[in-house]
Structure 1
Amino acid sequence: MLKAKNLTQIAQKVLQQEAAALQRVSAGIDSSFEACVEAILSLSGRVVVTGIGKSAIVANKIVATLNSTGTPALFMHAADAIHGDLGMVQKDDLVICISKSGNTPEIKVLVPLLKRTGALLTALVSNTDSYLARQADFILNGTIDQEACPNNLAPTTSTTVHMALGDALAVCLVEARGFTSQDFARLHPGGSLGKQLYLKVGDIYKDNELPVVFEDDNLKDTILEISGKRLGAAAVLSSNQELIGIITDGDLRRMLQRFDDLRGLTAADVMSPRPKTVCPTDYAAKALQLMQENNISQLVVVSEDERQEVLGFVHIHNLIKEGII
């Protein structure tokens, strides 16, 4: 059995070889790549990505990336295409055919059928002199020197390069379309990622009670308000109902260190001034960022007008419940 040191060296060699291949492919990006991007941007149909074996797996990933970034895409297995699935390709589509050699029997059967549909054909290949490349309208050049496999057989470097070219294509389309984080959220409504992009403070703070005291309220009433509303804090208002501070459980503990005699203390004596606030239209992700930056667990929610009326609280537990964290 190989020693751990040897295994580490092998792993490093694989990664270095694949990284070097990506550098060479990057330097080879040309006008055909640009023309493919422009064709997709003006496409009235969809992008259909096809391949066989490991290329089919790469094709599935590229399809998923395109769909999630605003480019409608379909996966078609190259073997299934000649048994009926070719019907999903329409004349207004663009087909990306992935093949390392570009000369496999399946590709040679499939390409003439694809050309017959009238769809544009893009070859994502590691052999630009192949049958597939010669028949294609556009070429995405994924040429490599050799696979990372010691026998130069198992698709390793080639699949890494092909997948990276798919990413490059998708990102070019994102940039060209001006695809925004709001667009991304629209396509990713589920899970924590989607919620970070669309969930707003106004969607969650209303489930909490609103603990509020006035600056002249005595200590007993202040503690009862904090305890009764179960958020570990209370907003402190002036006599004209302006937000002037916040009292948290931590402020109460610090109060015990600062004062020997608690009699006569008011909310104004205990509060922390200038509390951190958010508005209902702020994203929940912003609320989380403010909490993390200031090492606090709650924020006061205020209106967006000049009055900054206290509307409620958002607590770290709300964000945990929603899966933002």
Structure 2
Amino acid sequence: MINHNKKIKSILTDVFNHQIENIERNKSILNEQLCDIVTKIYECKGKLVITGVGKNAIISKKIVSTLISTKQNAYYLHGNDAVHGDLGVINEDDIVMLISKSGNTYEIKKIINFLKKKNIPIIALTSNNRSFLALESNFKCIYNIKKESSAGNIAPTTSLITCQLIGDAIAVALMKLRNFSAKDFSEVHPSGALGLKLNKAVSEIFLKKTQVCTNDSVFDVILEITKSRLGATVVTEQERAVGIITDGDLRRTFQSNKKFEEMSAKDIMTRNPITIAESLNVKESLEIMNEKKIMHLVVIRDSNYLGLLHMHDLIDLGKND
């Protein structure tokens, strides 16, 4: 059997390099016009409708899917369906983005004629700045494609990657303008990995049970905090949490010039620590931490101390497995 790996690797490398060069070249579209497009979508009272034909229809659908998953009001409309009755989904408060490399297809022209009659704003995403689409649109993003990375410059490849990149950039910009958070993401992805993690009960997280008694010395407290590596420990009486001591509490005690060697845990603890039930989920726990500006929560079961939850435990859940 002939080994073609060397030839295959060379082809793959050429494709990657071509795509990288294309992205670098198209940084020029990061201009005021693209900013205006993002602003127009952000301020839109209706929905953003994105349409295309052929492979551009697939890209349109992907961009819309990203936008919808981030709570942006968006709708995917296939170009062929649009000219066969589905233009009725477009309302006067909407904006329409048309994706077409040539900008001169039959469907594009028909859709634009309809939109112009209805006075609906048009966003063009095309590589042809002299096309019907570019000339008739209100907002335009003209990308620069010298050639596709496919053999013979036939199959759309580089142009699709470019459109996808622009769509993703717009989606991320809108997310940040709206302060879209992991909590928002979990709400629309209840069965997704992040959604499942954020909706998980804290009892399902490995909790460290670090504790000292009220009469334990400050030195005992230091040893326990050092051992647990949580930056805090819980003070208990008969298995109930009566206080919490953080490494910050220890520093303040040392700086107070008091005879800390004569002090016990009850003398330096913060009484009545904020507690949560083990059934509370990760998302709710994070909200409490953010609201109270604290790093730790004491987890209880039927009033008894169960374990200490650190914010880093929750943040780690958001990382990829």
TM-score greater than 0.5 by the shorter chain:
yes
Cα contact 1:50–1:96 (8 A) shared by 2: yes
Q: Which residue of 2 aligns with 1:98?
A: 99
Cα contact 2:108–2:133 (8 A) shared by 1: yes
Task: Give the 3-state SS of the residue equivalent to 1:151 in structure 2.
Answer: helix
In 2: Cα distance, 1:112 partner to 1:132 partner: 10
Q: Which residue of 1 aligns with 2:132?
A: 131
In 2: Cα distance, 1:20 partner to 1:279 partner: 53
Structure-to-structure mapping, 1:23-38, within 5 angstroms: 23-38=24-39
Q: Which residue of 1 aligns with 2:83?
A: 82
Cα contact 1:128–1:143 (8 A) shared by 2: no
2:202 paired with 1:201: yes
In 1: Cα distance, 2:100 partner to 2:13 partner: 26
Deviation at 1:196, TM superposition (A): 2.0
Letter of the 1:302 partner, please give it. Answer: V
Taking every aligned residue pair, what percent have the same amino acid on both sides?
A: 35
In 1: Cα distance, 2:110 partner to 2:281 partner: 55
- The root-mean-square deviation of aligned C-alpha atoms, in Å, is 3.6
In 2: Cα distance, 1:164 partner to 1:36 partner: 15
Cα contact 1:92–1:118 (8 A) shared by 2: no
Letter of the 1:86 partner, please give it. Answer: L
Q: Which residue of 1 aligns with 2:239?
A: 241
Deviation at 1:20, TM superposition (A): 1.3
Deviation at 1:117, TM superposition (A): 2.5
Task: Give the 3-state SS of the residue equivalent to 2:20 in structure 1.
Answer: helix
Which string of whole-angstrom CA distances, capped at 9 and with x for unpartnered residues, describes residues 286-323 of structure 1?
99xxxxxxxxxxxxx9348xxx9414799xxxxxxxxx
Deviation at 1:185, TM superposition (A): 1.2
Task: Give the 3-state SS of the residue equivalent to 2:141 in structure 1.
Answer: strand
In 2: Cα distance, 1:94 partner to 1:45 partner: 7
Task: Give the 3-state SS of the residue equivalent to 2:152 in structure 1.
Answer: coil
2:165 paired with 1:164: yes
Which string of whole-angstrom CA distances, capped at 9 and with x for unpartnered residues, describes residues 99-140 of structure 1?
011112221222111222322110111112211011111112
Q: Which residue of 1 aligns with 2:179?
A: 178
Letter of the 1:191 partner, please give it. Answer: G
Q: 1:56 to 1:240 in 2, by over 3 A?
A: same
Cα contact 2:50–2:98 (8 A) shared by 1: yes
In 2: Cα distance, 1:191 partner to 1:68 partner: 11
Q: Which residue of 2 aligns with 1:294?
A: none
Q: 1:2 to 1:13 in 2, by over 3 A?
A: farther
In 2: Cα distance, 1:149 partner to 1:303 partner: 58
In 2: Cα distance, 1:63 partner to 1:241 partner: 53
Q: 1:90 to 1:239 in 2, by over 3 A?
A: closer
Letter of the 2:305 partner, please give it. Answer: V
How high is the TM-score relative to the length of structure 2? 0.67
In 1: Cα distance, 2:31 partner to 2:179 partner: 22
Q: Which residue of 1 aligns with 2:282?
A: 283
* Number of equivalences: 244
In 2: Cα distance, 1:37 partner to 1:15 partner: 29
Deviation at 1:29, TM superposition (A): 1.5
How high is the TM-score relative to the length of structure 1? 0.66
Letter of the 2:239 partner, please give it. Answer: Q
In 1: Cα distance, 2:169 partner to 2:183 partner: 21
Cα contact 2:299–2:306 (8 A) shared by 1: yes
Cα contact 1:62–1:163 (8 A) shared by 2: yes
Gaps of 5+ in 2: 214-233, 242-274, 287-296, 310-319
Gaps of 5+ in 1: 206-210, 216-235, 244-277, 288-300, 315-323
Which string of whole-angstrom CA distances, capped at 9 and with x for unpartnered residues, describes residues 40-99 of structure 1?
111110000000000000000000011111211111111111111000111110111000
Q: 1:2 to 1:85 in 2, by over 3 A?
A: farther
Deviation at 1:242, TM superposition (A): 5.5
Deviation at 1:27, TM superposition (A): 2.8
In 2: Cα distance, 1:49 partner to 1:163 partner: 12
